[in-house]
Amino acid sequence: MSELRRDSLSFVEALGQSVANVSPTFTPALAVSVVAGMASTASWLVFLCATIAMVIVGINVGKLAARIPSAGSFFIYVSRSLGASYGMLAGWAMLLAYSFTAMSLLVATSIFIKTLMTAFGVTAVIPNTAIYLVLSVGIFFLAYRDVRFSSRIGLTLESISMVVILVVCIVTWAKLGFAVDMKQVHLEGADTKSVALAVVFAIFSFVGFESAATLGKETRNPKVAIPRAVILTPILSGLFFIFTTYVIIFGFADDAEKLGNSATPLSDLTASVAGWATIPVFLGAAISAFACALASLNAFSRMLFSLGRYQFVHRSMGFVHDGHKTPHRALALGAVFIFGVTAFWAGQDETAMVGYYGTLATFGFVFVYMLCSLAAPVLLRREGVAKIGDYIFGGLGALLMLAVLVGSIFPVPDYPNNLWPYCFIAYMLVGGAWFLVLKLRMPQALLAIEHDLEVTEIPHLGKIEA
């Protein structure tokens, strides 16, 4: 049976997977208005705090990745640390997280494409379903052909879009005389309570930074490259968020209310200070969103591949294409699922759907980040190498992610956002029920979790119906 292509990815390509999955351009293009509406002149500080939190989580994930290079990453990490039941729930949560991230960014790409068409004077109306189909086929084809190619494409596209945004911000700051915005330095008008809530939302901008871990079987020297990628990604993204947020707020003359009411803050700012860059900004945003959707499908397929190899889902998901060495069946299922859901809701407001899909995805990410933070010191203690710092970082990471989950529920959001936590809980209950069925029907599968089935023939552990 074919295996994933070993040692085929460099550190840069692994980093590209994580950076593309974060989609840094998406935050200044859309999300910064939400943070600014809550934190006002303290928005740069909000992203600084969020960066620190995600680096702590990244350190915990990196410790696990350094010891267990695996396509199943979080499913395997948590299983071998906290037990197979928690590992199954981690893998189940990440399937939701990566697939709904892809949906959110697929719809966002559609929004930016149509905005570009309008900017070029194209008045033709293309059905949303047709756009989703073309984009779904596109990300499947790139992911199916070669993970090296798709990782390079993701990093290249994201780098281009980030450069475009940085140029716009530097031009904006230059028109402001490269002055220091003292209102932001002194946090004038910022409310402590609102700032704390804004940190919770800002963490959402970083989800996906850990996805390089899903390429553990395909990366050269994964015990070094993967930890570096999952720590460096939130650092680079955080610096980008802090700088672009500072400039955008300065460019809006510290008018948080005006910025908070802007649907596309970066493009509004660009139109006022550098009209020539409006089209490149939208093009960069579209490129970034597409690259993130591609990276999310790559990560989803590796997670499903590992679950298939261990027969936690149907064993066919663990098959690899003989020529391309990619998990083609898992990729195909992911692409079909992503297109099917987005097509079903194609008639709804796209901006709202970006938020809905993204919120559901975030619950999955944060839940697994919390488990990984708990798992890291447990695994290190089991190996007899745990230090006091490992417990501190593990505890901090778990507490920070718990705070994010609580902050997402209280105060109770408005309808329909108040429904998403319960949708996530219902989804996890389905996964838990499936695990109980599996435990009763195939106890051998739980024992196999200690073996590296991702690179061996799949043993016949018994029939599992998908």
- The lowest-confidence range among 30-34, 298-302, 386-390 is 30-34
pLDDT tens digits, one per residue of 73-117: 888 999 999 988 899 999 999 999 999 999 999 999 999 899 889
Under 8 Å CB-to-CB from 30, ≥6 apart: which residues? 108, 263, 264, 265, 354
Predicted confidence at residue 453, as pLDDT, reads 62
223-259 pLDDT tens trace: 999 999 999 999 999 999 999 999 999 999 878 778 8
Token readout for 174 is 């230059």
pLDDT bracket for residue 452 (50, 70, 90): low
The Cα 193–Cα 190 span in angstroms is 9
Query: Which H, E and C letters describe the chain, residue by residue?
Result: CCCCCCCCECHHHHHHHHHHHHCCCHHHHHHHHHHHHHHHHHHHHHHHHHHHHHHHHHHHHHHHHCCCCCCCCHHHHHHHHHCHHHHHHHHHHHHHHHHHHHHHHHHHHHHHHHHHHHHCCCCCCCCHHHHHHHHHHHHHHHHHHCHHHHHHHHHHHHHHHHHHHHHHHHHHHHHCCCCCCHHHHCCCCCCHHHHHHHHHHHHHHHCCCCHHHHHCCCECCHHHHHHHHHHHHHHHHHHHHHHHHHHHHHHCCCCHHHHHCCCCHHHHHHHHHCHHHHHHHHHHHHHHHHHHHHHHHHHHHHHHHHHHHCCCCCHHHHCCCCCCCCCHHHHHHHHHHHHHHHHHCCCCCHHHHHHHHHHHHHHHHHHHHHHHHHHHHHHHHHCCCCCHHHHHHHHHHHHHHHHHHHHHHCCCCCCCHHHHHHHHHHHHHHHHHHHHHHHHHCHHHHHHHHCCHHHCCCCCCCCCCC
Residues 412-450 have pLDDT tens digits of: 878 888 899 999 999 999 999 999 998 888 877 777 776
Q: Can you give the pLDDT at residue 109?
A: 94
| Per-residue model confidence as pLDDT tens digits over 180-189 | 999 999 999 8
Asked if residue 464 has pLDDT above 60, the reply is: no
Quick: pLDDT tens for 278-327: 788 888 888 889 989 999 999 999 999 999 988 889 989 999 988 888 99
Per-residue pLDDT at 32 exceeds 80: yes
Quick one: pLDDT at residue 3? Answer: 72
> Per-residue pLDDT for 217 more than 60?
yes
Mean pLDDT of the region 2-29: 85
Average pLDDT over residues 247-275: 81
Rounded Cα–Cα distance for residues 222 and 448 (Å): 22
Q: Is the pLDDT of residue 457 over 60?
A: no
Banded pLDDT at 400 (limits 50, 70, 90):
very high
Determine whether 220 is exposed, middle or buried from the number of CB atoms within 10 Å of its CB (0-12, 13-18, 19+): middle
Q: Mean pLDDT throughout 366-372?
A: 96
pLDDT by residue (tens digit) across 401-415? 998 888 778 778 788
Which residues have CB under 8 Å from 86's CB, separation 6+?
78, 79, 371, 375
Lowest average pLDDT, out of 21-25, 305-309, 436-440, 459-463, goes to 459-463
Q: What is the mean pLDDT of residues 378-387?
A: 96
Q: What is the pLDDT of residue 389?
A: 96
At 366, is the pLDDT very low, low, confident or very high (cuts 50, 70, 90)? very high
Q: Domains in the chain, ordered, with CATH?
A: 11-455 (1.20.1740.10)
φ and ψ of 9, to 5 deg? -110, 140
- pLDDT value at residue 84: 87
Question: Identity (one letter) of the amino acid at 450?
Answer: E
Average pLDDT taken over every residue of the chain: 88
What span, in angstroms and rounded, lies between the C-alpha atoms of 404 and 399? 9
What percent of the chain shows pLDDT beyond 90?
Answer: 55
For the residues 332-351, what does the mean pLDDT come to? 96
